[in-house]
Chain A
């Protein structure tokens, strides 16, 4: 089956530093990847959609200069949280859609990255 990995699985950083999270589709090519954020006891909130080779599309209220997304290849998308602050502490989850999109559930989720900003 389709597998999506994320790295790191958890990270702790100091306020003001930048953190990069990688999302990889391991056994399929993903033209589109989605980045979600989830605060405790809340649902997933879509942050942005990234397409290979083009600029990401951000949801309303998400700062594109703070959350930098790069989708450099069909198997890798990265999210960089710049100048992180404690309020950015959250669970970040990516999902990837197969290039051969079709069928009922072609969007596959990564295991998530827990970011804690001190």
Chain B
């Protein structure tokens, strides 16, 4: 089975840095993804990690530790438009390599 956990909600201030954690327990692993989703819209891809370490892409960075079953998404220089849900998803390494999503974290950025 698969179990992917994230905090339900987080709040932060414009211009600040926020770290959203994701812990997972899966039967097979072939990469971890982070998506951003605004209300009523489809998820949009943010980052992908398959090896341990930090991947940086502009204001967003993502970290993975496979041995600990742990990842985080780091958002810097927060903007109001970053208010959204952030979804952690793990890809299986068997069969159809399906993506299974975590519980999602709603981030509210305030002025």
A residues sitting closer than 8 Å to B (CB atoms) are 32, 34, 36, 41-46, 49, 51, 57, 91, 93, 95, 104-105, 107, 109-112, 114
Contact = CB atoms under 8 A, between A and B. Distances in A.
Main secondary structure of the interface of A (DSSP, over half): strand
3 smallest beta-carbon distances between A and B, as pairs: A104-B48, A43-B104, A109-B42
Contacts of B87: 43-44
B48 A109 contact: no
Contact of B102 (A43, A91, A93, A114): A43
A114 B40 contact: yes
Interface in B85-100: 85, 87, 95-96, 98-100
Interface size class for chain B? 20 to 34
A32 B99 contact: no
A91 B96 contact: no
Interface of B: 31, 33, 40-45, 48, 50, 85, 87, 95-96, 98-104, 106
Given A91-B40, A112-B42, A46 B96 contact: no
A22 B13 CA distance: 40
B103 A43 contact: yes
B104 A104 contact: no
Nearest to A114: B40
Contacts of A95: 99
A104 B50 CA distance: 8
Contact of B101 (A32, A44, A105, A110): A44
A46 B100 contact: yes
B32 to A, nearest CB: 11
